[in-house]
């Protein structure tokens, strides 16, 4: 039995899209919450600096906190992206191995990145 290349391409796209659509909504929710928290903290710090409640002596402390929040956000987002890439790879390879197994009658073990 020959592989249907058009169907395989469609199935691979569908597998990748399914993972991405799910994970993108996760990213979106996480990103919006985190960015709103960072923006809120920034507004508090700006107001504190403007009012004098945050002095020149304490300003770096509060600004460092915003830097830390931002770095933590970026690192977490990077981790989520890496996990999503792994999920997409696993999904697409799963589709390919299933198609090859079906075409050849062999039960091929599906490789995994994880």
Q: What is the pLDDT of residues 61-108, one digit of tens each?
A: 999 999 999 999 999 989 989 999 999 999 999 999 999 999 999 999
Distance between CA atoms of 93 and 99, rounded to whole angstroms? 10
Task: Say what percent of the chain tops pLDDT 70.
Answer: 99
Mean pLDDT of the chain: 91
Each domain of the chain, given as residue ranges in start order, spans 5-104
Q: Cα dihedral angle (49, 54, 56, 57), rounded to 10 degrees?
A: -160
pLDDT tens, residue by residue, 13-45: 989 888 888 777 778 888 889 999 999 999 999
Give the three-class secondary structure for 62.
Answer: helix
Q: Which residues of 10-41 are buried (b: 16+ CB within 10 A; e: fewer)?
A: ebbeebbeebbeebeeeeeeeeeebeeeeeee
Q: Are 86 and 7 in contact (CB under 8 A)?
A: no
Pick 30 or 57 by higher pLDDT: 57
pTM of the model: 0.76
Does the pLDDT value for residue 114 go beyond 70? no
């Amino acid at each position: 039995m020959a592989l249907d290349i058009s169907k395989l391409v469609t199935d691979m796209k569908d597998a990748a899209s399914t993972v991405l659509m799910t994970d993108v909504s996760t990213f979106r929710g996480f990103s919006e919450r985190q960015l709103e928290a960072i923006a809120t903290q920034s507004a508090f710090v700006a107001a504190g600096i403007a009012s004098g409640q945050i002095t020149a002596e304490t300003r770096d402390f509060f600004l460092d906190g915003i830097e830390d929040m931002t770095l933590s956000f970026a690192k977490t987002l990077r981790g989520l992206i890496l996990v999503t890439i792994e999920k997409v790879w696993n999904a697409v390879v799963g589709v390919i191995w299933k198609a090859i197994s079906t075409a050849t009658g062999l039960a091929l073990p599906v490789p995994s990145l994880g």
